[in-house]
Amino acid sequence: MFELTTTRHNPMVDPAMHVWGWEIPVYLFLGGLVAGILVICAWLLVTDRFRTRDSIYPALPVAALVLLSAGMGALFLDLEHKLYVWRLYTTFEPSSPMSWGAWILVLVYPLLALGVALRPPVWLARRWPALAGWGAAVTERPKLLRAVGWTNMFLGALLGVYTGVLLSALGARPLWNSALLGPLFLLSGLSSAAALIHVATRNAEERVLLARADNAFLSGELAVILLFVVGLASAAEAHLGAAGLLLGGPYTAIFWVLVVGAGIAIPLVIQMLAVSHRIPHTPVAPLLVLAGGLLLRFVFVHAGQVSHWPFV
């Protein structure tokens, strides 16, 4: 069972003595970002948009492989016993979120590699010409291509939910003790991925579609955050105390002003104006979304370690 308390940072000590790490929030953010990219890749495959000449698709699986590896590197740096990480792959523990995550990643890596082969970037196709031939074996078979697309969709959703469940399974921290963390982190990952691709794509149609999708993700994220806070504030004493960290406590300003305001509400307004053709598309909103998504993980990880059950 993976626990933050087994790392170098022990949340049971005096919070004033903490040296907060960056590794776990970065790992959760990059994992959610890759989950969102997987889902968007699935959409491009199932709708056949990946064949469009200037589609962003060829860059996505390559970028996801790099981002996922960076996230795994951040997680590895946080581990207390780094030499024993291989033991995760000698067994499967159904009750352990970390075990689920380890095996999900075993499936995600080869799926991303297959995604690269389906339509490799030009520089990669020139280096390995046979790669395009391998991908053609799939792309020329519509049923097989759709199967790959839906597998991307399923594993992407599973990976995105897992990044939230990883925290919610640690019931010792009231702030994390909510079933809404899984959907919240999934929506945040989808929004971050849509924002990243919105900035990177050269295809005008993709840009508009992703902005509209991001608006839906941001709206859903905002609704889940409100439900999450209301749920904490109306629950037991420990949960009420955890809610206080975000409602008048030390994390209030950074959460409501930077995460919710600058990272969700403002980009949502900007992109709604952009898709209605009232203002041109701008990278400002997507960059705010990405910053807000990363900051969301930092707030939840750090505030969660401060929250605790009262001693009887």
Q: Please say whether the beta carbons of 283 and 271 come within 8 A.
A: no
Q: Please say whether the beta carbons of 50 and 98 come within 8 A.
A: no
Question: What is d(CA 253, CA 303) in angstroms, rounded to the nearest whole number?
Answer: 13
pLDDT of residue 84: 67
Nearest to 21 by CA among 82, 76, 64, 69: 76
Q: Classify 14 as helix, strand or coil.
A: coil
pLDDT of residue 187: 97
In CATH terms, is domain 4-306 a member of 1.20.1240.10? no
How is residue 230 written in tokens? 């209301």
Measured CA distances, 194 to 39, 70, 168, 197, 249 (Å): 10, 19, 25, 5, 32
- Ordered by start, the domain boundaries in the chain are 4-306
How is residue 163 written in tokens? 């990044």
Question: What is d(CA 91, CA 166) in angstroms, rounded to the nearest whole number?
Answer: 18
The series of mean pLDDT values per 10 residues for the chain, 312 residues long, is 39 37 91 97 95 93 96 82 68 72 86 92 84 83 93 95 86 85 96 96 93 97 95 83 90 96 97 94 95 96 84 50
Sign of CA dihedral 188, 146, 115, 100: positive
Q: Please say whether the beta carbons of 283 and 251 come within 8 A.
A: no
pLDDT of residue 17: 34
The reported pTM is 0.88
Q: Which residue has the tokens 């159904």?
A: 94
- pLDDT tens-digit map of 55-64: 999 999 999 9
Question: What is d(CA 71, CA 145) in angstroms, rounded to the nearest whole number?
Answer: 28
Burial class (CB in 10 A: 0-12, 13-18, 19+), 234: exposed
